[in-house]
Structure 1
């Protein structure tokens, strides 16, 4: 058994964080699970030093519900500074943080905010391991809901390599328990699903499983400054990535079994 006894999870109730907590618990680790819901706010730092008492590693799976670049950037950069500050004061040894594949050239929206997050993280005093992940299977339903007008859902033209949040959680825990050598150059490690897919294609499979929306339309992203990366493979896994199932179709069947 690993010598890590106590691991904290920021964003523990979120789409990814809840899986991280599950994996850590299944492996027998002592888990400090926190989020705003239990009074610990990584954006303001409230309650953070106390929550990190005795913690050796923090896994940051937190997110923001806003895709607005300014709001998301403010959240992520403040969170990075606070985790470094509180973590150093509490004796934390390392931070393990999730990011997004293909954001190196991002200039807009949530992806640009995560790029700012990465840069802020690397400025801090604590060692940081960043794992870049593809878009989650779970995001397809969210984007379908965002784009639905009546019986039609408009999905952005987007190539991705969809991966299950549980799969990403397992990779984050592995980094927390078995730290990789300090990274001085080269690309960040990546985790992605086993095959490239389009967001609209995945939404079509989801709609067939759930009985709607009736029509999925792939809409052009003329107003998206990052359109080139979205449409032409910039969000796909690099050659060094770890590829892991299930596929989106397999995940759908497991998540929404036939009645």
Structure 2
């Protein structure tokens, strides 16, 4: 089938693209570098022509509620409208476990995305995933200096590659018109993960854990109810990955 991947040049987008192509699917990468602007809609109709499914993993890095809502609201509206015109049969969106339980400016944008997908006319599935294994390293990279300040948060992190494969599987299986969840096999503390990343890098940086809100600290980001579990554990991933130096 023909699968369009919005945000196909990002971390998870590249993995989704690889997983889809490995499965023998025809993949269209939707990105600015490919001549498609999700914010304006320029090039989107051409990109979605003949697409059977859209997998939306487009992202913005921000803590601002206004910026997050503007980005996810606008890009989702553009994708859904273009998808309807193109006759797309399945819209798959990646979201976050706990997005409706933890207060965050960024999460407000993801909630807006979910609202639009659910209210749209294109059949859909939303996959809420927990934090990726890469998350601890990404935080370390944003906090230079000898001391890394890490928010106190409990998670059940998952390998991004397994989430990518699940997104493709969902896209091919057909729309569920509901939200499903995916997490890793173990519950871990993000600060402990950061320490493991630093140890693997041979770094002597210290990790200072600070409060980040009651809901986040007490498990608001953990899955509840039925959830698809990844198989890879964080220690396996770390051993197999050349952890990027912050």
Pairing partner for 1:167 from 155, 162, 170: 162
RMSD over aligned CA atoms reads 1.4
Aligned pairs for 1:182-201 (under 5 A) are 182-183=177-178, 188-201=179-192
| 1-structure distance, mates of 2:200, 2:219 | 27
- The CA deviation string for residues 69-98 of structure 1, in whole angstroms up to 9 with x for no partner, is 211110001111101111111111110010
For 2:77 and 2:175, the matched residues in 1 are separated by 23
Gaps of 5+ in 1: 222-226
Match of 1:256 in 2: 242
User: Retained in 2: the 8 A contact 1:102–1:229?
Assistant: no
TM-score (norm 2): 0.94
Structure 1 residue 180 displacement after superposition:
4.9
SS state of the match for residue 122, structure 1? helix
Q: 5+ residue gaps in structure 2?
A: none
Question: Alignment partner for residue 76 of structure 1, among 72, 76, 81?
Answer: 72
The alpha-carbon deviation at position 161 of structure 1 amounts to: 0.8
Aligned to 1:57: 53
Task: Map 1:144-159 onto structure 2 (within 5 A).
Answer: 144-148=140-144, 150-159=145-154
Residue 43 of structure 1: how far off its partner (Å): 1.8
**Matches for 1:1-259 after TM superposition, within 5 Å:** 5-148=1-144, 150-183=145-178, 188-221=179-212, 227-256=213-242
CA distance, structure 1, for counterparts of residue 164 and residue 190 of structure 2: 21
Maintained 8 Å contact 2:49/2:86: yes
TM-score normalised over the length of structure 1? 0.90
CA distance in 1, matches of 2:101, 2:226: 19
